[in-house]
Each structure stands twice: as structure tokens, then as C-alpha cells.
A and B are shown apart, each in its own frame.
Chain A
């Protein structure tokens, strides 16, 4: 991907988003009472204005990209193995989803221990031993600090409770 292609994608994305917002999202998900005395006071006025400017910015991005066809600066190739990278990316997405799902059930401490190890594995850490030690120690330390020093009600889950 180069800078120009990026701008074209962003521009198109912005225009599509703006149209979607004005036509679908704002009418459906911003409720406006029927007795609004003036259109500029309506709860919809501001989102619509922002959507309009988003569309204009998109058009601007598209135009600058099309006007400068020579602007072909390559962003440096960053990954040698794209498929693996995408796989890892979906891996971290799964970790996040699982974390959100598990937090209220297992509690914050156990969930983050697993998440720590998973992410350390995904970034292919060169220090697996210290990563595992930290994965156990850091959530426990943070729990001790937040729960007992700062007095925050850290979710404990239903299976194993810490003091």
C-alpha cells in the first residue's frame, strides 16, 4: 500500500460513512422529540453537521489523491509473511473477545493472567520464562494494589476468590 492508495481508501470510506450516517444511522439511532422549536436545537443537528463535514473531508482526500498521481510514496514493507501476520491479528482479536467474555465470570485476575501469556506468545517473546513469571505476578500485584490500597472493587468471578 502506498500513501496515495491509502488516501483514496480513506476518502471513499469517509464518504460512504457520511452517507450512511445521514441516511440510516442518525434517523434511526438519534431520537429527537417532536416539539423541538428550532432545527438548530435538535439533537440531530450536531451529528448531521459532523457527518456533512466528514463527507467533505472524504471528498477532499479523494481529490488530492487523484490530483497528484505521482505521489506514489511506498510505505515500507513491514511484514514478510502477510498470511501469518493476519492470523496473529485475528488471534489477538480472539484474545480480546475472550477477555471481555471471561472477565465477569472468572474475575479480572485469572483472565488477565491468561491474556498475558496469550499476547506474549503472539508477539513471539524472546523471554518466555520471564513472561510466564510476569504473567502470574503482575495481575496478582495489580490486584493487591487496586483492591487493598486503592479500595477498588476488582471483579472476582464466581469460581475462585482471592482474599
Chain B
């Protein structure tokens, strides 16, 4: 152990260690806030990267699930934290692009965070049950025009909520809010169940969340939003269907700190993430779940999120979906 750290440890044991500003970041464990519950997509993604990332950081990463309000509770916890780099957030598409676009009441905006990376992209897939008789997007649109179509989501302001609306609009439904009924559920599992038991006609969500249903032939995928086909999904891509605008509609996971995070801290995270995402085991584990590992630098990540936010914001404003109350 280097001498400086051993002195520090001794000091800590006798209970004298103050927050040592002079020491090199990071000199103690880093709190990583996961704004969603255990077992969810964000949680699994975060805990999978924590292993190689912890090795790169050289200090333990303490994972803390702070759930509630569609990711808002955990995000606020980091927004209000000291920008010393010891409290970081696993930001997700729901908490940091759909929610800010849809909710005027949200206690934070994108400007309150400084993104240090986006490392995972999840294709979005739309699915129906085989019993519904719907076999393609054209069938679905025809059915929507007849009326009585419903879709489920994991809640108001969640990614699946805006995903279904955006997909329908791309396929020529002028006002999806009037044409179909949204039946929000509590969580992703419930949203899938609602389609399985016929409560809702279709839903659009992370491909990983429907992969097992597709493999079991309980659900039929109609479309994936990426340009490349997704393994295990026998469905056309958005590119095949001539809807390149839908490539914007993907899930992602990234890491962010409070907005006044120092530059050197952000730069360090860039290096660590580069090292962590090279880990073979991490890649294969994530890819087995249907994720695409795509590392973005801090600047690239902010730009990516900003673009997606603006796309969603435009859609929300055009349709009058913004939640004011």
C-alpha cells in the first residue's frame, strides 16, 4: 500500500480523517445511485458494469438503489449531492430524456446534470400477441384506424409510453392520443403481462424486456427501431420500413454527476469507462441480454441525450402531451 493511503487509513481508524481535499480523486468509495428498483434493466446493467468499472477506478463502488417516481427520486438525490465526484448516477432514457420532455413538474432538468458517459444502447421493439391476428405494422395501423386499440406502458412518462406514441405517429396516425388508448401499468413486467392477457393490444419497449416472450412465442415482434436487425427478433428494422426517424427511439444507460462536476473528474470517468467496456466478460454478458455496447465520451454523450430529448420534446409539444399539474 502506498504510504499516503496507509497514513490516511490509520487516520480514519483513529477517527480523525476529515474530507481531505488534497488527496487525489478517488480516495474513498464512490456512491453510485441507481434510480430504479432491483432486478430492473438499469439495475442489472449498473451491477454488471460495476465489476470491471470498480477495477478501473481502484476504489469500491457502492451501489444504492433509490427508487420512486419513475427515476426522479434517485436523480434528485444526485442533483442535490456535492459535486465532488463521490456521488454519481446511473441515468436512464426514462429518467433523463422522456421524463424531462414530458413533465413540467419534474424537480430537475437536463442542465442539472453533467454526463460523463453513455455506454449501453437498447433497441426498442414493438410486440403483440399471436392471438391478436396482427402480423405486421400495416395490420396494426389498419386496426388503429378501425378503433379500439390500446397500448400498455410501464407508467406515464416512461420510455414505452412515448415509444408507442412516436411509432404510431411515424406510421401516419395524425393524433395517436385520440386514436388509441394508453393503459399505464406499474412497471415493465406488468406492461408485458397486460399485453399477454389481452388488456392491451400492443406495446413498445426495450428488446431485452420482450426477448424471452418472443423466444417462447408468446409475443410477436412487429418492428425494431435500430438500423441493424436484433438477434432473435424476426421483425423488420425501422430502416427496412423506411422510417429512419425511429432510430432516435432507443433506450440507453449512462453515468452522470451534478452539473458542476469538475473537468478532471469527468475526464477520469472517460478513461475508466473506456477500460471497463473493453472487458470481454462484461460485453458478452450485456450482449446476451440484447444490449449494444457503445461507449460515448462525455461530450458525445451530452450531445446524444440532448438530441433525443429534443426529438421527444417536439413530439410532446405537438401532441400536447406535456404534464403540467
Contacts and interface: CB of A to CB of B under 8 A. Distances in A.
- Asked if A and B touch directly (CB within 8 angstroms), the answer is yes
Interface stretch (A93-101, A115-123, A153-161): A153-161
Contacts of A151: 62-63
Interface stretch (B8-16, B225-233, B287-295): B8-16
A163 interface: yes
Interface residues of A, number: 12
A160 B13 CA distance: 10
A163 B105 CA distance: 39
Nearest to A155: B31
B323 interface: yes
A67 to B, nearest CB: 43
A158 B18 CA distance: 7
Contacts of A32: 325
A31 B16 contact: no
Interface residues of B, number: 18
Contacts of B63: 151
Contacts of B16: 160
B64 interface: yes
A153 B64 contact: yes
User: By DSSP majority rule, is chain A's interface helix, strand, loop, or mixed?
Assistant: loop
Given A158-B19, A160-B16, A161-B17, A31 B9 contact: no
Nearest to A32: B325
Interface string B299-325: 000000000000000000000000111
B285 interface: no
B15 A33 contact: no
Nearest to B19: A158
Contacts of A160: 15-17
Contacts of B28: 161
Contacts of B323: 33
Nearest to A110: B15
Contacts of A152: 62, 64
Nearest to B14: A160
A162 B31 CA distance: 15
B94 to A, nearest CB: 21
A159 B17 CA distance: 8
Contacts of B13: 163
Contacts of A159: 18
A162 B15 contact: yes
Given A32-B325, A33-B324, A33-B325, A162 B64 contact: no
Interface of A: 31-33, 151-153, 158-163
Interface of B: 9, 12-13, 15-19, 28-29, 31, 62-64, 105, 323-325
Given A31-B324, A33-B324, 12 more contacts: A31-B105, A31-B325, A33-B325, A151-B63, A152-B62, A152-B64, A153-B62, A153-B64, A159-B18, A161-B12, A163-B12, A163-B13
28 contacts: A31-B105, A31-B324, A31-B325, A32-B325, A33-B323, A33-B324, A33-B325, A151-B62, A151-B63, A152-B62, A152-B64, A153-B29, A153-B31, A153-B62, A153-B64, A158-B19, A159-B18, A160-B15, A160-B16, A160-B17, A161-B12, A161-B19, A161-B28, A162-B12, A162-B15, A163-B9, A163-B12, A163-B13
